[in-house]
Amino acid sequence: MLNKIFRSYWDLPRNIHLLILMEFTLSLIHVAFILILNIFLRKQGFSDPEIASYNSLRFIGALAFALPLGIYIRRKKLKPLFILATLIVPLTSAIIIQSVQYKIVPMIQLAFLSWGFGMMLMRVCSLPFIIRTTTADNSSEALSMSAATWSLATIFSGVIISGLDWIGYLKIGEWIFIMDEQSTLWFITILGGCSIFFALMIKEDKQQHPERNDDLFSIHKSYDWSLIFKAISPLILISVGAGLTIPFVNLFFNSVFGFGANSFSLMGSVTALLVFIFSLLVPVLRKKYGYWLTIVVVQSLAICCLVVMAVMELYVDYSFALVVAVIAFIFRQPLMHMAHPASNELMMNYVGKKNQELISALSSSLWSASWFISAKLFEWLRLLDYRYYEIFLITAILYIIGVILFASLISEYETSEKIKSGGLLPLTDELTMD
C-alpha cells in the first residue's frame, strides 16, 4: 500500500514537482515568519496590537488584487508570475527584518504589504497551475502534495530554528553572528531565495493558453457566480476563524505558558510532521470514505481540540494545563489541514469546469484576504482586553458554522452526482412520470 501511495506521487508531472519545490522553499520563509517573527517584534518592543496591525497588512494585497488576478490568469501563462513571487518574497522579507531591527515603522508597513502581495501571487496561481497540469486521475495527489509542502516547510524551518538556537553563534573570521531571531530569519530568507531556480525551470506549453477576447464589463456573464459564492462561503468562515488563531498561537503559548521561539518551533515541527503524513493519506481516504470523513468528521475533531487548547488558559496554574494544551495543539492542526485538499477538490467539482480556474484562485486568495479582517479583529479584541481563550472560542464558532455549510455542500454535490449517474431522478421528473 505504501509503495502504491509513493508511486502515485512520484509519477506526477515534472512541472508539478518543480511547483512543489518552489512552494516549499518560499514556504520556509513564510513559516519562519509565523513561528518567530512575532516574538522578534515583541523583543524589539512592539505591543500585541502593533504586531497584529503589521500582520494585517500582509493581506491588503490579497483584498485589492485577488479577484482581478483570478480573472486575469484565465488561459494566461503562470510561470512569469511564479518568477515574480520568488523575487518579491525574499527581498521584502529582508527589508522586514532590518526595518524591525531599526524600528522604521513606515518601512515595516510597506514591506509587510509587499510581502503579502508576493505570497498571494504564488498561492493564487498554484491551484490553477495544478488543474492545467494534471488529469482527473492524479489531481487529488497533486493537490495533497501541494498542501503538504506547508507542513514539510514547517518541519524544516523548525529544525533550522532549533538547530541554530542550539549552536548559539557562528564565527566566520573576525565576525561573530549570534543566532538570535534576527539572524535565524536572515538565514531562512536567503535559503528561501533558492525558489527562483525552480520557478525558472518550469516549462509551460505555448499552445495551452490561447488568446481570448473577454469583455471586462461583461465578465459576470462568464461565470456562475451563485455556485461560486455557495462553494466559497464555508471557506470564508473557516479562513476568518483561522486568521484569529493561527498567526497568534505563538503569542498565546508565549504569554500563557512562557514558550520561547525554540520551544514553539519544536512543537510546530512535531505538528507539521503529522500534517505531512495526514495530507499524503487524504487521496486514499477520500476515494474510500468520501468527503464526509475527510472534511466534516476531521474538522469537527479539530474544533474539539481547539476548544480544549483554548480553555487551558483558565487552568494555567495547574500542572496538567500545559500538557493538555500542547497535545490539543499538536492534533488540531493536522486534523484541520487534512481537510484542505479534499475541500479544494470538492469546491472545484461542485462549480464545474467553467468556473474551476476562478474558484481555485479565490480559494487561495480569499484565505489570505480573510486573514486581513481577522488580524484587525484580533487587534481590536486585544485592545478591549479580550483573553486569548475568548478569541479562540470565537474561532471555534466560525469553524462550526463553516463545517455545517460544508456538510450542506457535500450533500448537494453527492445528490447531483447520483442524478447525473442515473441513480436518482429530480423530483420534477418523478412527478411527471406516468
pLDDT tens-place string over residues 26-65:
999 988 888 788 889 988 999 878 887 887 787 776 667 7
Tell me whether residue 3 is in a domain.
Answer: no
- Look up residue 59 and give its three cell numbers: 493581506
Comparing 275 with 386, the larger pLDDT belongs to 386
CATH number at residue 255: 1.20.1250.20
Band (365; pLDDT cuts 50, 70, 90):
low
Q: How far apart are CA 85 and CA 92, in angstroms?
A: 11
Instruction: Give the per-residue pLDDT at 1.
Output: 65
Q: How far apart are CA 124 and CA 183, in angstroms?
A: 30
**CA distances (Å), 72 to each of 22, 217, 219, 231, in order?**
22, 13, 11, 21
Tell me whether residue 217 is in a domain.
Answer: no
Tell me whether residue 109 is in a domain.
Answer: yes
Comparing 277 with 175, the larger pLDDT belongs to 277
Q: How far apart are CA 227 and CA 352, in angstroms?
A: 9
Q: Do 157 and 35 meet the contact criterion of CB atoms below 8 Å apart? A: yes
- Look up residue 281 and give its three cell numbers: 493519506
Of 108, 126, 100, the closest CA to residue 368 belongs to 126
Q: Which one of 208-217, 238-247, 298-307, 359-368 scores highest in mean pLDDT?
A: 298-307
Comparing 205 with 157, the larger pLDDT belongs to 157
Which residue do the cell numbers 573576525 mark?
174
If one counts every other C-beta atom within 10 angstroms of the C-beta of residue 57, the result is 20
Tell me whether residue 212 is in a domain.
Answer: no
Instruction: Give the per-residue pLDDT at 213.
Output: 45
Q: How far apart are the first and last CA of the chain?
A: 50
Instruction: Give the per-residue pLDDT at 423.
Output: 53
pLDDT tens-place string over residues 386-402:
999 999 999 999 999 99
Which residue do the cell numbers 525551470 mark?
201
Instruction: Give the per-residue pLDDT at 390.
Output: 93
Tell me whether residue 143 is in a domain.
Answer: yes
Among 53-62, 133-142, 229-238, 375-384, the least confident range: 53-62
Tell me whether residue 107 is in a domain.
Answer: yes
Of 189, 191, 31, 61, the closest CA to residue 121 belongs to 61
Q: Return the percentage of the chain with pLDDT > 90, whole number.
A: 29
pTM above 0.85, yes or no: no
Q: Do 279 and 140 meet the contact criterion of CB atoms below 8 Å apart? A: no
Q: How far apart are CA 405 and CA 195, in angstroms?
A: 37
Is residue 149's pLDDT more than 80?
A: yes
Number of domains in the chain: 1
Tell me whether residue 5 is in a domain.
Answer: no
Tell me whether residue 185 is in a domain.
Answer: yes
Q: Return the percentage of the chain with pLDDT > 70, whole number.
A: 88
Per the structure, the complete domain to which residue 309 belongs is given by: 13-204+224-421
Instruction: Give the per-residue pLDDT at 140.
Output: 76
CB hemisphere CA count around 228 (13 angstroms): 20
